[in-house]
Amino acid sequence: MTRARETAEIISRYIPGVEKVSCDLLREGAPIQPVPPISHWKPEAVYHEDGARIEAAFRRYIHRAEAKQEKDSYEIIVCHANVIRYIVCRALQFPPEGWLRMCLNNGSITWLTIRPNGRVSLRTLGDSGFMPPDKLTRS
């Protein structure tokens, strides 16, 4: 999670006073075997180990606000693309096996909105328009 930590440090310079928390559940991994299978992509990770951890991250961080909350709240989660893609699939109630069908640039922004009634919308997925084209990369 070195790159994610470095990115969080950079972001925190522009949003002072926000608590930073490192969470091992958000480490990169292979959340679930993709469908359709990708023959050229064979993760070193074991799906059942990474998948359980990444699912736990989803359950910890992606939920509606408590009923007593009166104002909007925002959480910035800095992690790797596999985790983001899986979380997006789960949050939108899409088949999570489709996570590898999406492509995200490194450092891109994905924004999910979770309303008090539990309705979820994807405001943006993998937005990297703020970066110069020569700086765009993906893994």
Predicted local confidence at residue 43, as pLDDT = 65
Predicted local confidence at residue 2, as pLDDT = 85
Predicted local confidence at residue 37, as pLDDT = 82
Contact yes or no for 106/139 (Cβ under 8 A)? yes
Give the predicted TM-score (pTM) of the model.
Answer: 0.91
Predicted local confidence at residue 123, as pLDDT = 97
Would you write out the chain's pLDDT as a tens digit for each of its 139 residues? 788 889 999 999 999 888 889 999 999 999 998 988 887 766 665 788 899 999 999 999 999 988 888 899 999 999 999 999 999 999 999 999 999 999 999 999 999 999 988 999 999 999 999 999 999 998 7
**Residue whose C-alpha is closest to residue 98's, from 89, 87, 107, 106:** 89
Where residue 28 falls (left for φ over 0; alpha for ψ -120 to 50; beta otherwise) is beta
Residue with tokens 């909007």: 72
At how many degrees (to 10) do helices 81-91 and 47-61 cross?
Answer: 60
Predicted local confidence at residue 93, as pLDDT = 96
**In this structure, what token pair is assigned to residue 51?**
């998948």
